[in-house]
Every structure is written in structure tokens, then in C-alpha cells.
Chains A and B, each alone.
Chain A
Amino acid sequence: MLHRRPSSSPQHHVDRSYGLWLGFRALSILIVAAIVGLLLTITPAYSGSLQHSEMGQDSQELVPNEVRGGEMLLRPASTEPYVPAVIQAAKVHFDIHGMVATVTLEQSFRNDTDKWVEGVYAFPLPDKAAVRHMEMRIGERLIVGKIKESSLAKKIYNKAVLMGKKASLLEQQRPNLFTNRVANIGPGDEIIVRLEYVQALKYNHGEFLLRFPMTITPRYFPTHAVDYHAEDESSRDLTINDGMGWALSPQSGVDGEPRSRMQISARLDAGMPLAAVSSSYHEIVLSRSKGNYEIQLAEGSSAMDRDFVLHWKPVTGSQPAAAVFTQQLGDDNYGLLMLVPPQLSGVTQARTLSREIIFVIDTSGSMGGVSIEQAKASLALALTQLRPQDRFNIIQFNTEIQMLFRAPVPVSRHATQRAAKFVRQLQAGGGTEILPALQAALSVQNVVQGESTRGRVRQVVFITDGAIGNEEQLFEEIVNTMGDSRLFTVGIGSAPNSWFMRKAAQFGRGTHTHIGDVSEVTQKMQTLFDQISTPLATQLQVSWPTEVEAYPQRIPDLYQGQPLLVAFKLGSGKSVGKITVSGNVGNKKWSRQVQLEAGTADEKQSSAHASGVASIWARRKIDSLLDQKLIGLDEVEVKANVLAVALDHSLMSPYTSFVAVEDRVYRPEGALLRSETLPNMQPKGQSMQQVTYPKTATTAPANLLLGGFFVFLLLITHAMRQPEMDQDADKET
């Protein structure tokens, strides 16, 4: 410190102050220099990113590029960036009253290009949704869509397209898959299509459930299948990729987040005190006012890669046991009857019931990723639920089928161990050939029939994502060969084809369980097994005070925790009386009466809860009519019957579509119209999918450099302080 020569001349004093000044100058220069240095070290990153974005623009070719730090090829990601011509945004609102949800779905199509385009958007809706209203909004103008027979609606739409009018066509491709086409979206235009549907809520094990699908499972069409759909209008518009056997372009997941987000909100008026309201796969924000719940997503909007599921639970003691909702529409009265059979202890029955259980597990390519793990976990759990008096077998299928045992075997430790090993080794890959698997599962029955199937309940548990396209062929097989067996379907993954699985379970007189997340496997499979080991109510019958048309016509068995739900139509006028439901519960006869009051003055009180009941009834009637086609009734007749109901209630169906046409001509003559398919997000957890990139850098280099910089400054300042020290030393001397 004191290595400088002490001196005391006046000149030195000047020198010293000059040195001080110099030090300050130097310091500021050094700071500037350091900052420049800092910037320079950042520059490589910066120039790298610039280089890259330039490359991204002409993504057609691969350009080898010299980059320091080794040889490598710089190119955009393997998929070409998709430049969307039409931006689509969506908003959904659920208005829930009692047992009925009225849902409004808004899709907006915005065109940011300088060309005239047609937007085509395929989207899923719940498979029991009764779509009853559609409107198109262009700026301030509102055009209400009209329900027409599909072919007529298409003609109207095509004509409008050619004439350059703005138009929208809403079509049902499958019971749970719809397409919306919007024509002549001009440069900079925004067109909003709003549709409305109603659905009855699910009530199970004391809990209400609302499910809104947000993605589409690409369907697998067996490549060598019988030409089953050639005549079928409903599948004509789907593009089928021959090479892969996938319907709907597998490119669908290329889109980025901005175009695939949906705003979700709900208003819940349950009509009873609630213990809990929650959402399975989304974070929600709840607010309460006057017994109603307002529900919003915590993030405002959600990526459309998983279904929205909302469930709520009445407080203990206020669970509904029976309820009737009625609605008057025109001259007719419609109603919805819900009834929960009494709970059973069930243990005694479970002990005596011996079963033959066939597990069928889908190991096709679409089950890859998380789905197969969920399926395996479900199956492994199912194996632990078998009882000593049961027999069982496992069948796995993808392009081929493989059976664990040649015939069902009695449950033993050896057998279950072999089964568990078999399950562990399952892997996903190949096609989804359900038919041979179903045949195998059902034909096993014939082999064993000679032995001791008598007295055994035969249950087939079918675990799949249902990504198939030949549904009707399968239904026919189920209806024709099911016999006394019961079919239970377990849907796996974010976007299982729940229409197929619910229908299959309906034809097979079983139930459908949906597992959307690995964390649900244990609970859901346990529930299913509790159910199937104790069928609760059988041979149910409803007797009505007056003439009614009720759906479902054949009432299924009810299992523990399931309610009976019947939609019915009464004649006109006032009808008061008692509805009697009777059947066997456990081993005993059981019956219950519910008061029916329709067309009475008390309309006001129930109207809020009952709007939409008529639509639900009509939708169920259409379902029931369509079922007749599946089991062999002539299509012409079915179509006529469905059309009558659908047009009367202005509902979407395979034979009816909504069409809205604006009167003004927009597109100038001669301007071309491009058609743009809007991609869907890939369901979460499927193997044909993308993941986002992880964030893979730490702040360590920045910390290190900044730290070094501070040390450097410290040294500089220290050096600068030395003259002061010298002066102190001078004073002392």
C-alpha cells in the first residue's frame, strides 16, 4: 500500500489532484468499455438468432451453414411452419340449471391475408349434445341460421359461395364431430359463428358431471375394411389418408398455441347446496352470488389439447333421489325423469356372483404415449380385483390379436401372475382392428358353453381409445353376438371416441368409463369394479299416468351409484299423476312413485330448470331412431323419421344441417376463393404429438460475468483510493 514514494512538494499536490481526476476519467471510460465488452459477448447469440430467423423464412430448402463451434446443419424444425390464412378463436359458456346445461359456443374466423378464403373447421361436441341454434355475426349484422335437410343446406351454401355471399354451414359428420364452413371471408374480415346446444348432465355416485371435448382423436379406418362407408353420407367429407389409415389430416397438430385456445366460462345454478365444485384438468376460479356459481378458467383460456370436465357435489343429505322437470313447448309437454335407486350394501350379493371376465385391451399405435400406460395400469388394477370363483382371459389387439389363454381360466395365483407379466410387456403400435378382437372376445363364449357358463355372469371389459372409423360394423357385431354378455367400455386418453364407446356399452348393456389421466386410473377402475361386481337394479319398468313417448325405450340395468334418466313427451293439456318405477334391486322387488305435474300453472318455478328438456327429448328420439338403422331397419325409413323430428325441433342430425347466408354480395367478381382447413390440436398424451421445448439455460454465465465485472470495478476503485491513503500517510509524517 505504501510503496509509493512519499513526497511533499506543492507541485506534487497538483499532481495528485490531477491523478484523482485522471482516475475518475479512467473509471468512467472503463465502465463504458466494460459495458461494450458485455454487449460484445452477447452478440454471438444475437447474430445466431438473426441468421436463423432469416433461414426460417425460406424454409423450402436446407442450407448448410458454417457456425462456429463445430460443423452442423442449420434448418427449421422438421415440420414446415404453417402459415395460417384464417385465425380461429373460440369461446364457450355453460349455463347450467339443475339437470340441464345450455351451452353456447362461439367460433370466430379472422382473415389476415389479402385473399378471399373459406374456413373449414372440424370440432367435437359431446355426443349427446342437441344442437338447436346457429347464428352468424358479421360486424353489426346478425344472420340466424336455418335448419335444413343436409343436401338442401349444402346446395344453399354452395350457391352462396359462388355468388360471393358470406355464408356458414354447420354439418354433423359423426354424432360427436361437427364441421363449420365459413365462406367468403374477405381480407381483414372477422366472422363469428355462434351455436347453442343443450345436454342433460351426468349424475353418478352423488356427483354431477359436465364434459366438454376439445380435441379430436384421429380415427383409424381399417385399410382393408369392407367398404362400409361408401354409401354413408356422414363420412364422405372426411379426408382419409390412405398411407396411414388416419382420417383427418395427421398434420393437424402443427398449429401453434394462439389459434388453438378456448375461453371457458360457466354459470352454475345447481338448485341445491353444493359441497364442492371442481374441474379435473383445468384450474378454475369460482365466485358465488345468490346461490349461483360463476366459473372461469384461472388462465382465462385453455389450450385445446384436453377436455374440459366440471363436476360438482351436493352436500350430504341433499342429494337428489328423484326429480321431474317438465317444459311446455307449443301444445306439447316434455319431461325429464331422474331417479336414484336405493343404495345396497351389496356385499352378500357380490360373494355369490361368479363371473367370467374377458379383458380386451387396445395396443394400437394411437394408444402410444401416456394412453398405453393408463390402459396397462387399469388392466393391472383390474387383475387384482378378480375373485377366486371367477374365470378370466386377456385379449390384446392392434393389427393382429393375441390371447393370453386359449380359453378363460379359473383365477389362481399362477394365472394372475402370468397375466400381470403379459400386461407389463404390452406395447403400443400398429392399427386398430377391433372387429376380430370383439369376435374373439364374444366367441370364447361358445367354446366354454359346454362347460359351466351356466350361472356365470359374462362380462367383457374393453379398454381402448376407440380411434376407429368402422363403428357401425362393430355395433352390428355386438348386437348380433352379444347374447347375455355385458360389455363394459373403458375410454383411455384425452380424446377417446366416447360416442362409440358409450353406444357400444349401450348395445352391450354395460357401462362406459372414461379415464382421462393416469391419476384417475385407481379411482375410476375401482368404481367400475364395484359396479360390475354388484348389478344393482335390474328389469326396471316405468308406468306412466298418461300416454307418453319415452326414451330410452328399453331401460338398462342400473349399477351402484347410477341414476335412471328418462326423457318423455306427454300429450297436450294438463296432466297430473304419479309415475311408478319398479324393478328388482338386489334380490328384492322394489318400486317408487314420483309426482308428475305438467302443463300446470306452476310453470314459472320450473321453467328455468326445464328449458331445453324438449330438445333433449328430441335428441334422444333421434338417437333411438338411428339405433334402429344400426340393427337393420331400412335407411330411407329411418331418414324420414329422423328428418321429421329434427326439422320440427330444429336440431342437428346426420340428415340436417344449419345454414346461414348473408344477402349482400361481398367478394368481387373474379377474385378467387381459397379453402383453408383449420388444424386441430393433437390430443394430449397421444403418440402422434408434439411437446414444447424445455427451458434449458441457467443464469450462471450472466452471474459469473456480472460478478467478475463487480470485482473488476472494486479493483479499479481500490486503485483509485490509494492516493488518499498516500495523503493520510503524508499528514502523519
Chain B
Amino acid sequence: MQIRRLKGWTGLFCCLLLLLALHQLGSAGLIVAKARFAQVLIGGAWHRTLQSGGAVVKPWPWADTWPVARLEVPRLSVDLLVLWGAQGNSLAFAPGYEPASAIPGHSGVTVIGGHRDTHFEFLRDIELNTLLRMQLPSGENVSYRVSDMHVVDIDQNPYLSLNSESSALILVTCYPFDALLPGGPLRYVVTAITDIQH
């Protein structure tokens, strides 16, 4: 009898564990799937943007964001579309352009943020002088070369300075790359300056 009751309890425990496991793995899968699949939809929107010579095209009808640039890193075969806005709603689908910074391709400093565990995972492999290429809505291409990488503690320096003599592209992601929990104070900041040769 005793054993039988135990069996009932363990069964329940097993079911619970199964549910929890499915929930957690499902959440993780959803995050990754969203990040991957959205790029395809955004790709379509970007194609239409290029065709129309720079019009704003929303990737899906209820989207509150739209692609503003395409970011390529040939050495790491990275090819990503960048969405307007560096908050959660865009970052789930693509790297996000910070609207307070310079518009991609214009003079000034452009800031793009991305999740360290999806789109911007490649930043850990980036090195000095890595070539970055950005395609603008007009179809033009701008090239950058990585000139600096460093880690910032946002508790101590809450603002990213946009003052620069030359035009630059700043990529921001969370740091360290293999940390488990989100919301940490460290950011990995990759600065790339305009490359004239390309």
C-alpha cells in the first residue's frame, strides 16, 4: 500500500517535471525561432524597401517597426537585417537601431543593439579590423572597420556617448556572452569607423 501511494506521488511529480521541462525548453525554442524566422519576413520587407528606393515597409501588418539597414560581416558570414528601435519589441526579431543616434549612412555615430544569445552572438568572434558592411535603404553600401572593443558597466556609465569626430557604427550587446540570466550591468561595445577603401 505504502509503495503504491508513493507511486502515485512520483507519477504526479513526473508529470509536473515534464510540464516544466516542456515550458522552459519551449520558451527557449520560441525565442530562437522568433529570431530566426522574423529575419525571413524582414528580408521580404527589406527587398521592397530597396525596390522602392528607401520607403518604410513593415515586415508584417501589425509591426511597430521596420527594417532600416542590412548588416553584413563577410568574415563570419553574418547577414542580418536591422530594425528601427532598440527596445524589446524590435530586438526579439532583429538587431535594433537606436533612434536617438545618427541615421545609418548619415554623418555621426549610429548605434545598433542586439541580443547576445541570438543575433549578436557573433560579436564574441569579432576582432580588430574586421570588416562590417551596411546596406542602406537607398541601396548604397557603407563599410566600417572595427577599431575598438570594450566592456562597459552601465551602473557606472549609464550613457553611451555619441560624440565623435568621424562617422562610426557602434554595436552593443550584453556581456558576458555565456551568462545565464539577462539584465546584467555589463555591455560589450564594438566600435567600427568608416572604411574609405571599400
Contact = CB atoms under 8 A, between A and B. Distances in A.
Contacts of B92: 698
A727 interface: yes
Interface stretch (B7-15, B37-45, B65-73): B7-15
Given A42-B179, A703-B28, A704-B24, A694 B184 contact: no
A696 interface: yes
B176 A696 contact: no
Nearest to B15: A714
A696 B173 contact: yes
A85 to B, nearest CB: 17
B6 interface: yes
Contacts of A721: 7, 10, 14
A329 B86 CA distance: 56
B46 to A, nearest CB: 21
Contacts, number: 229
Contacts of B103: 373
Given A41-B180, A700-B32, A705-B180, A72 B150 contact: yes
B2 to A, nearest CB: 10
A81 B156 contact: yes
A696 B92 CA distance: 9
A583 interface: no
Interface in B74-91: 86-88, 91
Contacts of A691: 98, 100-101, 111, 159-160, 162
Contacts of B178: 41, 44-45, 69, 701
Interface string B85-125: 01110011000101111110011100101111110100011
A707 B159 contact: no
A696 B21 contact: no
Given A48-B186, A694-B172, A79 B161 contact: yes
Interface residues of A, number: 69
A304 to B, nearest CB: 14
B24 A694 contact: no
A56 B158 contact: no
B3 interface: yes
A724 B157 contact: no
B45 to A, nearest CB: 21
Contacts of A692: 154, 158-160
Nearest to A62: B150
Contacts of A48: 151, 175-176, 179, 186
A718 B14 contact: yes
Given A370-B100, A698-B182, A707 B25 contact: yes
A653 to B, nearest CB: 36
Given A693-B187, A700-B32, A703-B31, A81 B180 contact: no
A30 interface: no
Given A52-B153, A700-B31, A44 B17 contact: no
A703 B159 contact: no
Contacts of B98: 691, 694
B64 interface: no
Contacts of A690: 159-162
Q: Which of A41, A53, A700, A717 has the most CB of B within 10 A?
A: A700
B129 to A, nearest CB: 13
Nearest to A38: B180
Given A70-B125, A717-B17, A724-B7, A704 B186 contact: no
Interface string B177-196: 11111111111010000000
Contact of A704 (B28, B107, B120, B183): B28
Interface in A413-436: 427-429
Contacts of A693: 113, 152, 154, 158, 160, 172, 187
Contact of A369 (B24, B100, B113): B100
Nearest to A725: B7
A73 B149 contact: yes
A713 B20 CA distance: 11
A42 B160 CA distance: 26
Contacts of B25: 703-704, 707-708, 711
B197 interface: no
A384 to B, nearest CB: 18
Contacts of B179: 42, 44-45, 48, 697, 701
A44 B178 CA distance: 8
Nearest to A682: B159
A76 interface: yes
A711 B20 CA distance: 9
B154 to A, nearest CB: 5
Given A369-B101, A704-B24, 12 more contacts: A45-B184, A52-B153, A71-B127, A368-B108, A428-B107, A687-B163, A696-B173, A697-B179, A700-B117, A710-B24, A714-B14, A717-B10
22 contacts: A38-B180, A45-B176, A73-B149, A73-B150, A370-B100, A689-B162, A690-B161, A692-B158, A693-B113, A696-B120, A697-B173, A697-B183, A698-B31, A698-B115, A700-B27, A700-B28, A700-B117, A703-B25, A708-B21, A708-B25, A720-B10, A724-B10
The 3 closest A-B pairs by CB, nearest first: A690-B159, A694-B113, A707-B24
